[in-house]
């Protein structure tokens, strides 16, 4: 069985070497990149199963690299950084990262999070091949099997987590999901992040569907609870 490929992106050799030691012991095949451009070249040139991405990089910062990765692939991305403020975590997760781990960290926690991301990614892709039918609303179609959202006849660009959130809400039309419930469903039961991550993703989705020309807001806020999905004309007084 082929070993899973993990790409470590960090400009510090000591950190890349340390991560390579941890990951190699677990049986992963480790690729390394010291710049953002080198990382993107590796991702475009071969199959990568997981990216460990430092934020403070010399040519492109981690935010820019993550955005560029999300334009090309849904590969799981874990950001590694000494910046521990909540706003930085929300920013990273809001632009498409799947997890955020602050330095210094224990190797056991790193490996546990790596396996958690790979497990969730495997479940997502396994579900996609079941050929679920399209979810249809006025001027909006969601194709779970090929992870595509079509708005007004044109494919729209969403990150992996934005798609997962959009599809989760759409599959349970009119069901109200709380923020903690969505965190558990999409970020994993062990996710200890701020619930504003959900709000950030909803905000991004709303901006993208509006830009794509959808004439209504498909994700409604249920004040004091969370969010639900509604088709055109089904706002029920919510925003």
pLDDT digit string (tens) for 96-115?
A: 888 888 888 899 999 998 98
Q: What is the 3-state secondary structure (H, E, C) of the chain?
A: CCCCEEEEECCCHHHHHHHHHHHHHCCCEEEEECCHHHHHHHHHHCCCCEEEEECCCCCCCHHHHHHHHHHHCCCCEEEEECCCCHHHHHHHHHCCCCEEEECCCCHHHHHHHHHHHHHHHHHHHHHHCCCCCCEEECCEEEEHHHCEEEECCEEECCCHHHHHHHHHHHHCCCCCEEHHHHHHHHHCCCCCCCCHHHHHHHHHHHHHHHHCCCCCCCEEEECCCEEEECCCCCCCCCC
Confidence of residue 4 (pLDDT cuts 50, 70, 90): confident
Which residue is listed with tokens 């480790």? 30
- Mean pLDDT of all residues belonging to the chain: 84
Q: Is pLDDT larger for residue 11 or for residue 147?
A: 11
In this prediction, residue 127 carries a pLDDT of: 46
Q: In 3D, which of 125, 127, 107 has the Cα closest to residue 52?
A: 107
pLDDT digit string (tens) for 127-185?
A: 444 456 788 899 999 988 778 899 998 889 888 888 989 999 998 887 999 998 898 88
In this prediction, residue 238 carries a pLDDT of: 44
In this prediction, residue 192 carries a pLDDT of: 57
Residue ranges of domains in the chain, CATH in brackets:
5-128 (3.40.50.2300), 135-229 (1.10.10.10)
Q: In the Cβ-directed half-sphere of 40, how many Cα atoms lie within 13 Å?
A: 16
């Amino acid at each position: 069985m082929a070993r899973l490929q993990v790409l470590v992106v960090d400009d510090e050799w000591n950190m890349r070497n340390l991560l390579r030691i941890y990951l190699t012991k677990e049986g992963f095949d480790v690729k390394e990149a010291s710049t953002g451009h080198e990382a993107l070249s590796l991702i475009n040139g071969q199959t990568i199963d997981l990216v460990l991405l430092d934020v403070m990089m010399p040519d492109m910062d981690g935010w820019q690299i993550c955005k560029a990765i999300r334009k090309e692939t849904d590969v799981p991305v874990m950001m590694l950084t000494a910046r521990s403020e909540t706003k930085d975590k929300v920013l990273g997760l809001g632009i498409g990262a799947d997890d955020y781990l602050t330095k210094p960290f224990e190797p056991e926690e790193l490996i546990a999070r790596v396996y958690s991301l790979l497990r969730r990614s495997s479940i997502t892709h396994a579900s996609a091949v079941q050929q679920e039918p399209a979810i249809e609303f006025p001027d909006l179609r969601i194709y779970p099997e090929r992870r595509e959202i079509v708005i007004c006849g044109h494919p729209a660009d969403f990150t992996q987590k934005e798609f997962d959130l959009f599809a989760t809400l759409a599959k349970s039309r009119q069901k109200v999901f709380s923020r903690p419930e969505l965190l558990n469903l999409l970020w994993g039961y062990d996710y200890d992040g701020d619930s504003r991550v959900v709000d950030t993703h909803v905000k991004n989705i709303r901006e993208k569907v509006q830009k794509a020309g959808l004439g209504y807001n498909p994700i409604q806020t249920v004040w004091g609870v969370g969010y639900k999905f509604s088709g055109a004309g089904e706002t029920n007084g919510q925003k």
